[in-house]
């Protein structure tokens, strides 16, 4: 990957993930989205619902990356401490946003209590980001986007801010599916890695797949280089071990398997 690549980290907050009650769904969505947008997700931390832990992680991760995305802990129950922790991490007080307070009041109507209004408390001078698809904006403070943990909401909010993240060449990826033994092609992979230092190559055995046993992936910003690296690899393995080259082959090789 290019050193020019903007970087990102994620802080996923929630005891429910650390105790196995809930399978995280947000990391994959974030990773896929950032990859498509050309942003390099470098690090994910899952931490408990504890203010001190979150403060330390927000400080470290936001300082070391271009963007930090937090997930979870933004309601108003006792275990929702993300907003206060982000405020503390960035040295800002928590303050009620008049705009959010109005949204809360009109949303909950006569049911609205002081507790509901805590939903409008955000770090001072937070930016409220919206693309117009929802009245409820995403809270951004410096380079930290504060996203909800509920998967449906996380997904929706991430789409709302995507335009703020876009504007650079996306990563492209090609997969090659094979019946190769991973150890047997390790030397070949070394040579492809050396020849294509700008292409990130991954090798993933799959035990439970009926169609192939080893998946190779080739990622980079330059589609031509990615294709060349994949093609180079494909040309060097026994063709009866190839299940899907993942790149356009000449007609002589016949149609792709899928």
CB of 49 to a second copy, least distance (A): 8
CB of 88 to a second copy, least distance (A): 19
CB of 28 to a second copy, least distance (A): 5
Residue 144 or 185 with smaller CB distance to a second copy: 185
- Phi, psi of 246, rounded to the nearest 5 degrees: 70, -5
Residue 127 or 151 with smaller CB distance to a second copy: 151
Nearest to 21 by CA among 85, 64, 72: 72
- The owner of tokens 């907050």 is 13
Residue 103 or 150 with smaller CB distance to a second copy: 150
CB of 250 to a second copy, least distance (A): 27
| Cα–Cα distance, 235 to 241 (Å, whole number) | 11
Asked if residue 16 lies in contact with residue 48, where contact means CB atoms within 8 angstroms, the answer is no
Nearest to 145 by CA among 75, 60, 76, 86: 86
> Which secondary-structure segment (H or E) carries 54?
helix 51-64
Residue 33 or 245 with smaller CB distance to a second copy: 33
CB of 189 to a second copy, least distance (A): 5
Q: Which residues of 131-146 are buried (b: 16+ CB within 10 A; e: fewer)?
A: eeeeebbbbbbbbbbb
Residue 92 or 241 with smaller CB distance to a second copy: 241
CB of 224 to a second copy, least distance (A): 19
Residue 110 or 254 with smaller CB distance to a second copy: 110
- What is the DSSP-derived secondary structure letter of residue 232? H
| Cα–Cα distance, 101 to 107 (Å, whole number) | 10
Residue 92 or 232 with smaller CB distance to a second copy: 232
| Cα–Cα distance, 256 to 23 (Å, whole number) | 35
Instruction: State the helix-helix crossing angle for 186-195 and 223-236, rounded to 10 degrees.
Output: 150
Contacting positions for a second copy (CB under 8 A): 15-24, 27-35, 41-49, 53, 75-79, 108, 111, 113, 115-116, 119, 150, 152-153, 171, 173, 181-187, 189-190, 193, 200-208, 217, 219
Nearest to 38 by CA among 236, 221, 195: 221
CB of 111 to a second copy, least distance (A): 8
- Phi, psi of 208, rounded to the nearest 5 degrees: -110, 15
């Amino acid at each position: 990957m290019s050193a020019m690549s903007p970087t990102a980290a994620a802080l996923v907050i929630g005891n429910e993930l650390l105790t196995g009650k809930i399978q995280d769904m947000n990391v994959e969505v974030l990773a896929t989205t950032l990859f498509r947008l050309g942003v390099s997700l470098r690090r994910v931390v899952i931490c408990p619902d504890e203010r001190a832990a979150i403060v330390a992680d927000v400080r470290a991760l936001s300082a070391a990356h271009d963007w930090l995305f937090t997930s979870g802990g933004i309601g108003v129950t006792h275990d929702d401490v993300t907003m206060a922790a982000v405020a503390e991490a960035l040295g800002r007080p928590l303050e009620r946003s008049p705009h959010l307070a109005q949204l809360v009041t009109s949303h909950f109507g006569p049911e609205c209590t002081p507790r509901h209004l805590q939903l409008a408390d955000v770090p001072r001078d937070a930016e409220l980001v919206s693309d117009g698809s929802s009245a409820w904006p995403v809270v951004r403070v410096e380079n930290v986007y504060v996203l909800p943990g509920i998967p449906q909401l996380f997904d929706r909010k991430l789409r709302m801010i995507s335009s703020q993240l876009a504007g650079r060449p996306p990563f492209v990826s090609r997969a090659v599916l094979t019946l190769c033994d991973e150890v047997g092609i390790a030397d070949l992979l070394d040579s492809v890695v050396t020849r294509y230092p700008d292409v990130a190559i991954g090798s993933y055995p799959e035990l439970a797949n009926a169609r192939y046993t080893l998946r190779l992936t080739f990622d980079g910003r330059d589609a031509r280089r990615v294709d060349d690296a994949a093609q180079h690899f494909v040309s060097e393995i026994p063709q009866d071990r190839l299940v899907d080259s993942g790149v356009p082959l000449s007609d002589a090789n016949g149609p792709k398997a899928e």
